Chains A and B, each alone.
Chain A
């Protein structure tokens, strides 16, 4: 099993450009999450999907949209990138909403100039 995979690993954007971060898991997990990690701050939840077909906002959803394409895939879209969105983005998954362990992807390092 590959676990949780993310693409791309690195990306540089100019202000105003758009892009989609891809996440996929092969563990048949129901719940998936997008976090961002900034220096000196803990991981912060952007959006999550408790199950296929549902998505909910987390702490910092502004400037982002998500799509739960199917049970395996959960994508994060930046419609008009801003320098404040420079961060490391992690996708994670868990079996169900009440399950204990979250499995993380390797992260995407995004720089917005």
Chain B
């Protein structure tokens, strides 16, 4: 069993829809990251969370440490949001450099 599981693996949506991508993990973590991988392959960090919720534009990330679960929400989705979204966890103790990555959720948003 992977230490980081994402669901769904693939997601299609119509422009304007509300999107939710889920990430569950089975290990103790000090932080969780959400990353976006563009169709061209480039990877960009979106959020780092250790508790609660963060918002940036139309993107919202939440984490429930007790449930070992995080969600990435996209409001008013747009075709330019089409990408692979990757969840990664930083293991405890704090300061450990290593991240464990999920396999990603491929999102396609159609006009």
Contact = CB atoms under 8 A, between A and B. Distances in A.
B63 to A, nearest CB: 13
A42 B101 contact: yes
A107 B102 contact: no
B42 interface: yes
B95 A98 contact: yes
Interface in A79-113: 88, 90, 92, 94, 97-98, 100-104, 106-107, 109
B7 interface: no
Nearest to A97: B97
Nearest to B102: A42
Interface of B: 2, 4, 31, 33, 41-45, 48, 86, 88, 94-104
A58 B99 CA distance: 10
A102 B33 contact: yes
Contact of B45 (A31, A40, A103): A103
Contacts of B33: 100, 102
Given A42-B104, A102-B33, A106-B41, 10 more contacts: A31-B97, A42-B4, A45-B99, A48-B97, A48-B98, A90-B43, A97-B97, A100-B31, A104-B44, A106-B42
A30 B58 CA distance: 32
Contact of B95 (A44, A48, A97, A106): A97
Nearest to B97: A97
Contacts of A97: 95-97
21 contacts: A40-B103, A42-B2, A42-B4, A42-B86, A42-B100, A42-B102, A42-B103, A43-B88, A43-B101, A45-B98, A56-B97, A94-B97, A100-B31, A101-B48, A102-B99, A104-B43, A104-B45, A106-B41, A106-B42, A107-B41, A107-B42
